[in-house]
Amino acid sequence: MERIRAVIESAEVYKISDIFRTKPAGLRFNETDALVVMARSDDGRKFKSIFYFSLKPDGTFEEEILGVDAAKFRRHRLASFLRYYKIAEDVSVYKLKNRVGELNGLNVEAIPVDGDMAIYVP
């Protein structure tokens, strides 16, 4: 799988209810927020990646939650994204809501997924 260079053009934190009329199937009750990242690859293709989580009142999110399910995987995916691209070393204190603007202009890697592109997260 060949990775392609891309640049984040915009990133915003949204309430899931602001994006979807009804919560998408598979999302748990404790997934209330989404980080929507719009990027452009070096060959000009635009794409977005969405990371689901629950924002705490202080602007951080909890990586570890009880249970072993898809919600836990999705939070680990967001934490891996933040660590891999050296955005945050300690995600437990990273105030994602306040610092989301720092993602703009960040160089990332993209991979093809089902005919579209997605940000590579190990």
**Which residues is 52 bridged to in the sheet?**
34
pLDDT, residue 39, reads 97
Structural domains counted in the chain: 1
In angstroms, the CA 82 to CA 90 distance is 9
pLDDT, residue 80, reads 95
Which pLDDT tens digit goes with each residue over 69-86?
888 888 899 999 999 999
Q: 109: domain range?
A: 4-119
pLDDT, residue 8, reads 97
Residues of the chain under the 50 pLDDT cut: none
pLDDT, residue 66, reads 63
How many Å from the N-terminal Cα to the C-terminal Cα in the chain?
13
pLDDT, residue 13, reads 95
Q: Which of 66, 43, 41, 40 is nearest to 54 (CA)?
A: 66
